[in-house]
Structure 1
Amino acid sequence: MRRLKEVRAVFKEKTGTIYKITWEEMAEGAKIWEKHLLESNEYPRVELDEAIDDMGRFLIAACMINLTESETSRNVEVTRVVMDYKMSAKVSVTADVNLPTGYSIALHGPMMTCRPQGDELDEAVDRLQEECFRYIDGDRAQQKLFQEEGEK
């Protein structure tokens, strides 16, 4: 069993975007989560970038910033998503936001509770988690780093 703890997408002029993904794994029958970190600048599938970007709309809604959907997609650059599993699954989003006033801010949002019934936030987190694990497992842009058993 594994679960996502954090994903960061950091752009640097010399190296491009670096993806830092932290996750935990627990072996069957074990009681302790093992922490893992992957840091890579290999291009992800487009779906990973989309899943990261999609978290911006929840940050904007939680902070009650008045941006349309198209303004959110143009003006919000998600840089970090953090998961917490203490009492229930919660997520926090950090982004650089270009406001309609012309100013830019680094915005760190509140912890938002994921609903077990499957609301939009929960579905977005599930999609993000799935794409992060695909990246971890080697399924990246235009290639698969590790072949499945039986594949040639």
Structure 2
Amino acid sequence: MPLNIQTNLENVDWERLAQVYALAFKGIQTAELIELVFIRSYATRIALLDGVIVGGVYAFSDGELDATIHGLCVHPDFQRQGIGRALMESIMQSFGPHIALLLTAEAMHQPLYCKLGFRPLKTAMGKGFPPADMED
């Protein structure tokens, strides 16, 4: 199955993308919300296998100094096949080498991000996250 990484938002099946996000993150994501988030993003990538959406990622940025990468997801049936890595490598190309990239990651996914050059930060903080994701 050939993997295609789509770099634009033309002809996106928003219902399918919302289903992939709901499965990957074990929650309900509406097509309208996913479409809005992707449209408002600085950069987006959508992974397709044989024309069917199997993953996505998006990033916000000022285009000059900083960017945050969000929502990397791959359909559970297609995880651990290099799709997440391909999405990350592609979206990272949207930014010059001088732009600081930030993301949040569960412990089980951190090895992938380390392979891509990310390192844990000592000073990162958050607000509005679920209590289980926050340190005391």
- Return the TM-score normalized by structure 2: 0.32
Structure with more of its chain in helix, by fraction? 2
Larger radius of gyration: 1
TM-score w.r.t. structure 1 length? Answer: 0.29
More strand by share: 1
